[in-house]
Structure 1
Amino acid sequence: MTHLLDSYQLGDLRLPNRVVMAPMSRVRATPEGLATPSMATYYAQRATAGLIVSEGVQPSLVGQSNPGTPGLHTDEQVAAWRPVTAAVHANGGRIFAQLMHGGRVSHPDTTGMRPVGPSAVPAVGDVFTPAGPKPAPMPRALDTAEVPEHALSYAEAARRAVDAGFDGVELHGANGYLISQFLSSNANVRTDRYGGTVANRIRFAVEAVSATVEAVGAARTGIRLSPGGTFWGVEETDVPELYAALLAELARLEVAYVHIEATVGEEVLVGLRRAWPGTFVMNPVVPMGPKQTGRDEADHWLGLGADLISFGRAFIANPDLVERLRANLPVAPVDEATYYQGGDAGYLTYPAYAHTV
């Protein structure tokens, strides 16, 4: 049976274990979207993960969802990321950048620009702004001729990511952000080639991934998906058909991996695992749900055929999570109040496990 601490070959990368640090927004970047020395320390502390996937990184200014998040669309942002990736590599780690275009989940107070989306349908709920939460605004529906430039923004950011020292990129196709909005049947009410049928609704995702593969190579390109997820009010009809069609196109592109969230029933998820010929990364619990991924959930999904298991919140309070899993040590609880507060408290202040003599 596959063991969580077994090594794994992911493209050209030899992972020392099958533990993935899931992407988690921590909003510690500068107002200009620059990575900071504290971010370098944060990721380097967690470099024993088989693979780190960074927090969501905006590929363009209009793609920025939250204030305090980093970007990869300027030369200054590339330069700011280099010490981060160098620190991870110096500690023996591997790191992909998650490229996250927020689409309609944004606000003019954050970017100075009106959010865009597949259709003029606002997200459900309040979005973060520099002045605090505000209702999600009405997005501007992208013209058909504009859509390809937003697909290409992922590829352009991927080139910058590799220049910044990242080992690869993960396109954020989940959780109600732009790719997820195009997959949706209620955020996307288009009647052109990007809306309506399953083939049309997956088109934007396929174009974004295809452009990224062309830019940096398939071995450096992954994607995260949340089948049937309802984040920010998105809905999806025909979930098994939709994701079977998408995975078939992604398999043709031979991407490095798909990273799947447990946002639909296990039967559907197992079907997707069986349909996917490549590396399958499983996030066994719903992000931000009531339960955190633990060893039991990891072992369960390894038994169902997952290749790698992503852990989110457990990595916040446990920089040495891999060692705790290896030695069956207690996993420390996380202080939710410090998720997005900024500063080093609750960011760099969680210690490794203290062994007693």
Structure 2
Amino acid sequence: MSVLFEPIVLGEISLKNRIVLAPLTRQRADENAVPNDLIAEYYEQRTSDGGLLITEATPISVETLYAKTVPGIYNQAQIDAWKKTTSRVHAKGGKIVQQLWHIGYHCDPEFDPLHRAPPSASVIEREGKPTSRALDEEEIKEIVGTFAQAAKNSIEAGFDGVEIHGANTYLLDQFLNESTNKRTDKYGGSIENRNRFALEVTEAVISAIGAGRTGIRLSPWAINPENNDVSQWIALLKSLNPLKLAYVHFLRSTPGVNNEPETENVLALRKAYEGNLILNRGYVAASAEKTVFDGNAELIAFGKLFISNPDLVERIKLGRELNEDLNFKTLYAGEKGDPSDGYTSYKTWEQAHA
């Protein structure tokens, strides 16, 4: 039996395989940021018995909406609507965690009731974008509390846990990175200080729902793709070790790098972290199996292949051909006004060969 189909326990989440749906923004919610039946169908299609799904990035407050059609987790209507998704996933034996998202300097003042400049670690000027403002310590404390409340909301909605989004140039990443964090207070300067906000968020979420239901996603190379100094991330992982999280989830490389072996930097991160590690980006079935077999990760998350193969887990298990015909035009919206196009319209292997 392939190591990808050996059971594993992530904190309080018991799984029967090591193949994970990566978090993928798809923008199919209703325009009030409420998840709908189509979203429930999408996750249900990708559910395997004992497999793990990670939802698309989910805003924790209205001011951090990325778009009107990105589903949130900050009001009761959203909590109740997400229950359709979690119940359908659980009915098929799957597990699902919700990724909690604050986008920082990517925020659109249109969604902020006070129409403030986008928040970030520091004042950041970006061409064609609003200049961000530096959060004060009281605002940081409020955001930490908002993450904790969002985690509680996720559990109320039936999720098995949450993943804190600390990657991809978003708010936590903006604090972690020296190039975007120019603060001189306790949240900036040293590695320890730049790690502080991410650790405070993580500890608050743990206090809210438990360490065994909490994961975090990180991407050391999102803001600085050429950076080969991983000392920041090694220090962060060593601080996370005693917290006994369900898992840490790393994007291992920059976009466009496919099917390459783990680099020395990724292996250094593996060595630093004592818990369950999920790696993502650029894997195919064979490289995923080798990575898990070699002990370089416990699980592998797939993105594009899981979009075009709703039955990806079964295809890998049975050695079936994968559909690599992904329509990039429908990643964030269906064509000709049909939101299901390129979302729930991909066929299983059996449907394609009927």
TM-score by length of 2: 0.90
Tell me the alpha carbon deviations over residues 70-104 of structure 1, each in whole angstroms, 9 at most, x when there is no partner: 11111111111111111111111100000010010
In 2, distance between residues paired with 1:38 and 1:241? 42
Superimposed CA distance per residue, residues 120-167 of structure 1 (whole angstroms, 9 cap, x where no aligned partner): 10456xxxxxxxxxx321112111222111122111100000000000
Residues 13 and 213 of structure 2 are in contact (CA less than 8 Å); yes or no, is this contact kept in structure 1?
Answer: no
State the Cα distance separating 1:356 from its structure 2 match: 4.9
The answer on 1:274 being equivalent to 2:264 is: no
C-alpha separation between the residues in 2 aligned to 1:123 and 1:102?
Answer: 15
Separation of aligned partners in 1, 2:120 and 2:148: 19
The answer to whether the 8 A contact 1:186-1:236 is kept is no
C-alpha distance in 2 between matches for 1:35 and 1:138: 31
Work out whether 1:144 is the aligned partner of 2:137.
yes
1:207 equivalent in structure 2: 200
Q: Which runs of 5+ in 1 are unaligned?
A: 125-134, 286-292
Partner of 2:258: none
How far apart, CA to CA, are the structure 2 residues paired with 1:217 and 1:297?
A: 33
Selected match of 1:347 from 325, 339, 343: 343
Pairwise CA distance, 1:304? 3.5
1:334 aligned residue: 326
User: Is the 8 Å Cα contact of residues 228 and 265 (structure 2) preserved in structure 1?
Assistant: no
Q: Which residue of 1 aligns with 2:35?
A: 35
Q: What does the per-residue CA deviation read over 1:265-311, in whole Å, with 9 as the maximum and x for residues that have no partner?
A: 711111111121111111143xxxxxxx2112212321331100100
Amino acid at match of 1:272: L
Query: Matched residue of 2:14: which SS?
Result: strand
Residues of 2 paired with 1:300 and 1:309: CA distance? Answer: 11
Whole-Å separation in 1 of the counterparts to 2:129 and 2:247? 32
* CA spacing shift, 1:62–1:122, aligned 2, 3 Å: farther
Structure 2 unmatched runs, 5+: 255-261
The equivalent residue for 2:9 is 9
Distance in structure 1 (CA, Å) of the matches to 2:248 and 2:12: 16
1:1-357 map, 5 Å? 3-48=3-48, 50-111=51-112, 113=115, 114-123=117-126, 135-230=128-223, 239-263=229-253, 266-285=263-282, 293-305=283-295, 306-332=297-323, 333-342=325-334, 343-354=339-350, 356=353
Query: Residues 50 and 123 (structure 1 numbering): CA distance in 2 closer, same or farther, change over 3 Å?
Result: farther
2:142, 2:228 → 1: CA distance? 28
C-alpha deviation, 1:263, in angstroms: 2.5
Moved more, 256-265 or 333-342: 256-265
Q: Which deviations, in whole Å up to 9, do the C-alpha atoms of 1:27-77 show, x marking residues without a partner?
A: 011222101000000001111172000000001112222331111111111
Deviates more, 1:171-180 or 1:106-115: 106-115
Which whole-Å CA distance do the structure 2 matches of 1:123 and 1:257 have between them?
A: 33
Q: 2: distance between equivalents of 1:181 and 1:115?
A: 12
**Aligned residues of 2:51 and 2:94 also touching (Cα < 8 A):** yes
The residue type paired with residue 35 of structure 1 is P
Q: Is the 8 A contact 1:39 1:84 kept in 2?
A: yes
Q: Is the 8 A contact 1:270 1:304 kept in 2?
A: no
Q: Is the 8 A contact 2:250 2:278 kept in 1?
A: yes
Length-normalised TM-score, structure 1? 0.89
Is the Cα contact below 8 Å between 1:183 and 1:236 reproduced in 2?
Answer: no
Cα distance change of structure 1 residues 334 and 110 upon mapping to structure 2, 3 Å threshold: farther
Q: The residue matched to 1:4 in structure 2 has which SS?
A: helix
Aligned to 1:127: none
CA distance 1:238–1:268, shift in 2 (3 Å): closer
Matched residue of 1:227: which SS? coil
Instruction: Name the Cα RMSD after superposition.
Output: 2.0
Q: Deviations over 1:144-193 (max 9, x none)?
A: 22211112211110000000000000001011000000001121111111
Secondary structure of the residue aligned to 1:170 is strand
Secondary structure, counterpart of 1:62 in structure 2: helix
Q: Percent identity?
A: 39
Tell me, in whole angstroms, the C-alpha distance in 2 between the residues paired with 1:271 and 1:237: 14
* Aligned 8 A contact 1:73 1:160 in 2: yes
Query: Are the counterparts in 1 of residues 64 and 108 from structure 2 also a CA contact under 8 Å?
Result: no
